[in-house]
Amino acid sequence: MTMDNESVSFLNNPDSWPLWPICPLVLHSNDRGWSRMGVVFAKGVCPPDGQHTVYECDMYQLATDQPLIPQLEKFPKHPFTSFATMVAAGWAVD
């Protein structure tokens, strides 16, 4: 099994995520070594069907004492049709 397949398998089993309902992600960049941080949420946590949407932020930017959806609206979002397409685009479990 390749690392990509392992990542997709992990993402498809949100009950195993240590920080459920959040799974932190990273997108490594070849230019200057910078990485972009992101988060994805378990199905049913973020509309519209945010199960396959990467919100580009560090999970520590999210306040636990405030509603989640309004916080996410300020971050770039990257919707995907599946976890496989997300991983193919370079996003990896962090």
| Residue extents of the structural domains in the chain | 3-93
pTM of this prediction? 0.86
- List all residues 6 or more positions away from 90 whose beta carbon is below 8 Å from its beta carbon: 27, 28
pLDDT per residue as tens digits for the range 19-74: 998 999 999 876 667 889 999 998 887 765 667 899 999 999 999 899 988 898 89
The sheet that has 91-93: what strands, in order across it?
77-79, 53-55, 35-41, 22-28, 91-93
Listed residue (43, 30, 82, 74) closest to 56, CA to CA: 74
22: phi then psi, degrees, rounded to nearest 5: -105, 140
Reduced to 3 states, what is the DSSP secondary structure of residue 88? helix
